């Protein structure tokens, strides 16, 4: 059973573009989409609307920085502060390279920080690389399952 990718994105256009990019990377992982930071935490904590979801953490969280209600940095801080979630790979996706965001993200222990390229081909490549790296190449934390790309 492959672990899903959790995509946290509020902007519908960004969401559409990201989903297209993930589709093109031909990852077999299911992509779970939530639309704000509060929902992302509900999913991870298996509460609220996600109380009945299947057990287990996602392979990676693709986290938009600017989100309604609870923003990306707050979600990241919450993940790193929880025993059950702290080893979860988190990739921050953002529109711009603001130094304060970069510093804060790394301080909070982000695994990667990606500025969404304006060019769509590059965007597709970046998302695809991320997916493959974190869902495929990366050695997951103990107890996780590694995805083997079907031949």
Contacts of 130 (CB under 8 A, 6+ apart): 60, 62, 91, 112, 114
Contact 93, 62 (CB under 8 A): yes
Pairwise CA distance, residues 126 & 116, whole Å: 8
* 14 scored as a contact of other proteins (CB under 8 A): yes
What binding mask, one character per residue, do residues 15-34 give for other proteins by CB under 8 A, x or -?
Answer: -xx--x--------------
Distance from first CA to last CA of the chain, Å, rounded?
17
Q: Is 47 in the site for other proteins (CB under 8 A)?
A: no
Site for other proteins contains 42 (CB under 8 A):
no
Residues 6+ apart with CB under 8 A from 41: 70, 75, 78
**What SS3 state is found at 132?**
helix
**Closest separation in Å from C-beta 142 to other proteins:** 34
- Candidates 47, 53, 69, 146; binder of other proteins (CB under 8 A) is 69
Q: Interface with other proteins includes 65 (CB under 8 A)?
A: yes
Contact 21, 119 (CB under 8 A): no
Q: In the bound complex, what is the minimum distance in angstroms from residue 139's beta carbon to other proteins? A: 32
Shortest distance in whole angstroms from residue 63 CB to other proteins? 14
Write each residue from 88 to 127 as x if it is in contact with other proteins (CB under 8 A), else as -, in one continuous string.
------xxx-x-x---------------xxxxxx-x----
What secondary structure letter does DSSP report for 11?
Answer: -
Applying CB under 8 A, which residues contact other proteins?
A: 10-14, 16-17, 20, 35-36, 38, 65-66, 68-70, 94-96, 98, 100, 116-121, 123
């Amino acid at each position: 059973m492959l672990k899903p990718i959790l995509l946290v994105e509020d902007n519908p256009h960004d969401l559409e573009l990201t989903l297209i990019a993930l589709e093109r990377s031909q990852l077999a992982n299911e992509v779970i989409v939530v639309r704000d930071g509060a929902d992302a935490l509900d999913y991870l904590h298996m509460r609220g609307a996600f109380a009945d979801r299947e057990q287990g953490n996602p392979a990676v969280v693709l986290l938009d920085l600017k989100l309604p209600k609870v923003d990306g940095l707050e979600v990241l801080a919450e993940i790193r502060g929880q025993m059950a979630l702290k080893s979860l790979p988190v990739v921050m996706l953002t529109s711009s390279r603001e130094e304060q965001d970069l510093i804060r993200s790394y301080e909070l222990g982000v695994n990667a920080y990606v500025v969404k390229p304006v060019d769509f081909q590059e965007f597709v490549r970046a998302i695809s690389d991320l997916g493959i790296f974190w869902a495929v190449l990366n050695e997951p934390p103990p107890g996780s399952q590694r995805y083997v790309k079907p031949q």
